[in-house]
A and B are shown apart, each in its own frame.
Chain A
């Protein structure tokens, strides 16, 4: 029984290892798919930009200012800051911008309703005009060309959502921010783009992204009782025959956590949300006739990515148990096999990060690669804890609580553009 379980763990690890290596090779050597990046002239559609803001007084001004300066027809762009039950000066700051730019900014001051970003976005949908809307978190700072880059894929009638690339702006603050910067690079520059290259399943990330209104209506809108509304949306769109497109050039600055407890809470939320979606939709995904074989498999693997952490921990425990029980044919080999895959094999994720830094033309930050093991360890433990607590909470019937990520910016940032 233990040996069988261990075999399953090893196979799963091998599958993910293979997946990440394939992604890296595709990104470095394969044909890069960016079919919508050349759209320079077009009959640009009307869009609405939703800025999700809950107690964002430190950062909201930078976001609004950047959006006012984007290169998109002003008469086709509506900016809607969603002030979701803020108790700080967020509402006041938004109203100040409205007074300075009447007609361009249309605030939504949400004073009640279910907490959480998904619920706030659902309520904000009544403010959406046009066929598409983009979502930004309040700490994001879009560049001038970003909106056109995110809207271009929507000329493709198969595209239901679009995702850009987030780039940490507070990189140099601490060790944690430098590690997260590397992790983001790997995740976007390699992982997302590779999935785009291979016609698999890029993921809508909930920010620096956009959604087609008719696609959202077709899948009956946002799911409220979810911690990962972005993953939930990606999968439901996919099942309904809509594609998510990743646009690597659509880069936007964001703020990453600067404290480990904040990072732990963030990743636990992501893990729980992902696992929720996995439980809800994996079966439908694997059986869907609307999807190619690759999309089905990659979609399932995408949903299972946070479940791999507790699987890995379980594998370590089993390996140790097999070693001490002296079971034949595995025994010491078990520990060795798992250690090998955990380092060299699972090193595939670090391989992605290394490839990403090369593609970003970074030089010295690659030296920090060994230290990402620290972040990886924290993630494995946090995600495993999230998985176990989620199982326990579901057995108790406890409600999921959405927690906001803490901001650390204290003043508007000067980007020197």
Chain B
């Protein structure tokens, strides 16, 4: 009777059903891993000679789609994995509930729904297009107004998210919000050299708030138990950490990272080297640039609001909601 509660333990000891080491992360976390997996998944379709359909490794019946086969009836559902050896234009809204692989460019009408797509070229999504899982373009990617990009959206070139777009994880050489503009800086305007963290600039630690006024200049890292407020046209060479909020005024250059446990607000026409990390929300003003093509960076928070005209070079990761404000 006493040993009764030990029976499951002794059984597991004997049978060893769960005695392997816990799996640890073995991938490198790159955003285009999904794209590579899809190429491998679609290989049977790519290698088809003359046929239009063939079974894929999970049993799904994949299909080769040519321009002449594109549906013209709005809302037509396509429920098979699709491979297109050339560019495709969907002139009416479609609903693609399986993977799409195009060896060319993609233009898709507004109101469409894509599950997952790999485009070996340029991708242009009409307004109010929804991507459910991921999309990757080896060229540029443009999402029309009010589009919803769930999951991951990445491009080897640039991504443009028009006003009203919502997103989660976006990554490209340059992610333009609202309109595709010109980058203000191809390289860091103040410190194009090696990583600033390697320089050991020293740090200032404040047990309360920290405040920099208009047109101040500051060199060093800032750590504040309260909030950090930096006014307009300030130059900071160093990183900023606040246990509550960070507020950056307009026209400020910050050659370092911003980390906050509260909210981060970056004004208009700022430059921030990055990364920018917040545990609540990041708001980015119009005309602000974060990162450069020479030194891409990461912006991450549960909620991210970006005004039209801002640009981030690198990755933007909104864990709960990201939006291009109207």
A145/B28 in contact, CB under 8 A: yes
Q: List which A12-62 residues lie within 8 A (CB) of chain B.
A: 33, 35-36, 38-46
In the complex, what residues of A have CB within 8 A of residue B223's CB? 157-158, 241
Considering only residues 147-181 of chain A, those with a C-beta below 8 Å from chain B are: 148, 154-158, 167-172, 175, 178, 181
A368 at the interface (CB under 8 A from B): yes
**Chain A's interface: helix, strand, loop or mixed, by majority?**
loop
Expressed in whole angstroms, the minimum distance between the Cβ of A28 and any Cβ of chain B is 18
CB-CB < 8 A to B207: which residues of A?
289-290
Q: List the one stretch of B6-14, B70-78, B109-117 in contact with chain A.
A: B6-14
Question: Does A362 sit within 8 A of B, measured CB to CB?
Answer: yes
In the complex, A33 Cα to B280 Cα: how many Å?
A: 11
B-side contacts of A43, CB under 8 Å: 195-197, 273, 295, 297
Count of chain B residues near A, Cβ 8 A: 60
Given A158-B223, A158-B241: A370 and B5 interface contact (C-beta under 8 Å):
yes
Q: Which residues in A have their C-beta under 8 angstroms from that of B203?
A: 157
Closest to B273 in A: A43
- Bound: A251/B23 CA distance, A: 9
Q: Does B62 count as interface, using CB distance less than 8 angstroms?
A: no
Find B18's partner among A45, A144, A241, A365 (CB 8 Å cutoff).
A365
Partner of A155, one of B20, B26, B197, B315: B197
> A369 to chain B: closest CB distance in Å?
7
Q: Is A221 an interface residue (CB 8 A)?
A: no
- Is B98 in the interface zone, CB < 8 Å from A? no
| Residue among B12, B256, B259 making CB contact with A367, cutoff 8 Å | B12
Please give me the residue from chain A that is nearest to B18 by CB atom: A364
| Interface assignment of B296: CB less than 8 Å from any CB of chain A | yes
A249 within 8 A of B: yes
Tally of chain A residues near chain B (CB < 8 A): 56
Which residues of A in the span 229-248 have a Cβ within 8 Å of any Cβ on B?
Answer: 241
User: A167 CA to B11 CA in the complex, in Å?
Assistant: 24
* B277 contacts A by Cβ under 8 Å: yes
Residues in B neighbouring A44, C-beta threshold 8 A: 195
Interface centre among B13, B18, B295 (most CB of A within 10 A): B18
Q: Chain A's nearest CB lies how many Å from the CB of B271?
A: 14
- The answer to whether A39 touches B25, judged by C-beta atoms less than 8 angstroms apart, is no
Nearest neighbor of A145 in chain B, beta-carbon distance: B29
Q: B11, B198, B240, B274: which contacts A42 (Cβ < 8 A)?
A: B274
Q: Does A100 contact B (CB under 8 A)?
A: no
**With A41-B171, A131-B198, A368-B13 given, is the CB distance from A156 to B21 under 8 Å?**
no
A35-B279 in contact (CB<8A): yes
On whether the beta carbons of B259 and A157 are closer than 8 Å, the reply is yes
Q: A residues touching B (Cβ–Cβ < 8 Å)?
A: 33, 35-36, 38-46, 71, 130-131, 143-146, 148, 154-158, 167-172, 175, 178, 181, 185, 213-214, 241, 249, 251-253, 289-290, 360, 362-365, 367-371, 415, 417
